[in-house]
Amino acid sequence: MVLQRNTDITLWGWANADEEIFIKVLWLNDPLEVTADKNGNWSLKIKTTLSKEAQSIHIKSKESDILLENILFGEVWLCSGQSNMQHPVKGLPGQPTFGSQKAMLNSRNPNLRLFSVGRVGPITPLKDLRAYEPWKEASSNNVAGFSAVGYFFESHSKNC
């Protein structure tokens, strides 16, 4: 995954009521601890850095043990809105994407990642994602499905 660099982020989750949660993040020296409230909700604000090294987050409680690895700090962009944000790098039948073949062939950027959330139209806010694709690093194997607008914006922004 990618977390916004050099800012405060919120780690959060659910546990049993009043359960202690122990968190170790690679970029901080000291472990963190938080207690779930009476409804089992917990959250904790922590500061990210400018590190370019891959990071990890270990979240442990009596009931669970979660290890998140290969986390980068960088710029996080939310690409949302019109259907053109879903237009893939590979294009669609009758709707090609200019430069897609070259992009798909030459894409090797483990620092560029995509996390896709499916369209769901709930009436009330959701606690969990119902439809999503996990984080993917840009490579010739999978960049075809990336948002073309997001992919080309990032790859061209370095040249500006």
The mean pLDDT value of the chain amounts to: 91
Please say if the pLDDT value at position 42 is more than 80: yes
Q: Which domains does the chain have, with CATH numbers?
A: 2-74 (2.60.40.10), 83-157 (no CATH)
What are the residues whose beta carbons fall under 8 Å from the beta carbon of 133, sequence distance 6 or more?
114, 115, 116, 118
Task: Return d(Cα 129, Cα 107) in angstroms, integer.
Answer: 28
Mean pLDDT of 68-97: 90
Tens-digit pLDDT profile for residues 104-129? 999 998 999 998 888 888 899 888 88
pTM for this entry: 0.85
Confidence of residue 153 (pLDDT cuts 50, 70, 90): confident
Residue 158 has pLDDT above 60, yes or no: no
Distances (CA, A) of 32 to 25, 44, 66, 140: 8, 9, 14, 39
pLDDT above 60: residue 24? yes
pLDDT for 67 equals 98
Position 154 confidence tier, pLDDT thresholds 50, 70, 90: confident
How many angstroms separate the CA atoms of 80 and 51, rounded? 27
Query: 90 or 153, which is more confident?
Result: 90
